[in-house]
Amino acid sequence: MTGNHRGFRWAAIFGLLLSIGVGVIAYNAGLSHGLAQVATTQPPAAPAPYPYAYGWHPFWGFGFGFPLVPVLMFFLLGDVAASFRPEAARRRVMLSVRAAGDLPLVDIDPVRIREVVSNLLTNALRYAPDEGSVAIDARLDTAATIAVAVSDDGPGIAAADLPHVFDRFYKGRASSGSGLGLAIAHNLVTAPGGTISVRSAPGQGATITFTLPEA
């Protein structure tokens, strides 16, 4: 390879990395703005001590897959909830996030866990009545596990349907979805060793809880 070609290659790589860096800065600025509307029980005591606290990784997009990185769930949950606020406001549904800012880091693939939370919120908003409520709660479940629960005050799930809610394409009699959202959430949570469960009764809403190992 000639010197000119080698120089051009490194210039192209540098330009690509620079553009990614600018994009990340812009994204984090938008994230900070979105979090201003998130209701929390306790704000973060201090900035995240890890350079990829929100989960962005410099190797993403370069053929290295999606690695597990330490993430503060306080920020990830707030960011996902912010994207659902317009729909919640349109239907006057109270959407709340209760997550202590001092929750420990968790080792996750943030892209996949964002998809899990989005699927659960989509499901909860589908069944919550107008002027109802949907809540996300994150807590330290054990010394090494964080539990995230998404609940709604909708009609609830029939007892006969409960054992099948995570089955692919299963739809209860009152279901209006595709039958895939909860099945996908189940696979994404359990693949790296997490757990997911549902608690519900007719007329009492539903709560879906998943756990993640602490970093």
pLDDT value, residue 4 = 52
182: tokens are 């909860």
Q: What is the pLDDT of residues 150-201, one digit of tens each?
A: 999 999 988 888 888 888 866 665 555 666 788 999 999 988 788 999 999 8
CB proximity list for 182: less than 8 A, separation 6 or greater: 119, 120, 123, 165, 166, 208
Yes or no: say if 119 and 148 are a contact pair by the CB < 8 Å rule: no
pLDDT reading at 63 higher than 50: no
State the pTM of this model.
0.68
Q: Are residues 181 and 79 in the same domain?
A: yes
31 and 84 within one domain = no
Question: Are 30 and 113 members of one domain?
Answer: no
Residues 32 and 43 in one domain: no
Q: Are residues 117 and 69 in the same domain?
A: yes
Q: How far apart are CA 164 and CA 139, in angstroms?
A: 26
Q: Are residues 113 and 17 in the same domain?
A: no
Residues 80 and 145 in one domain: yes
**Residue % of the chain over a pLDDT of 90:** 37
Cross-strand partners of 152: 134, 206
Distance (Å, whole) CA 100 – CA 165: 29
pLDDT digits (tens, 9 = 90+) for 96-125: 999 877 788 888 889 999 999 999 999 999
Q: What is the pLDDT of residue 104?
A: 85
- Amino acid 86: pLDDT: 96
Cα–Cα dist 135/98, whole Å? 8
61 shares its domain with 82:
yes
User: In angstroms, rounded to a whole number, what is the distance separating the alpha carbons of residues 44 and 35?
Assistant: 12
Q: Are residues 97 and 128 in the same domain?
A: yes
Could you tell me the residue range of the domain that residue 11 belongs to?
1-36
Residue 27 binned pLDDT confidence (cut-offs 50, 70, 90): very low
Asked if the model's pLDDT at residue 17 lies above 80, the reply is no
Q: How confident is the model at residue 18 (pLDDT cuts 50, 70, 90)?
A: very low
The verdict on 181 and 154 lying in the same domain is: yes
pLDDT tier, 134 (very low <50, low <70, confident <90, very high otherwise): very high
Query: Same domain for 132 and 187?
Result: yes
Q: What is the mean pLDDT of residues 54-71?
A: 52
Cβ pair 177, 154 in contact under 8 A: no
Q: What integer pLDDT is reported at residue 46 of this predicted model?
A: 35
Instruction: Please give the pLDDT value at position 108.
Output: 87
Q: What is the CATH number of the domain that holds 209?
A: 3.30.565.10
**Nearest residue to 44 (alpha-carbon basis) of 108, 99, 122, 112:** 99
Number of domains in the chain: 2
**120/195 same-domain check:** yes
CA nearest to 133, candidates 184, 84, 80? 84
The number of beta carbons lying within 10 Å of the beta carbon of residue 27 is 13
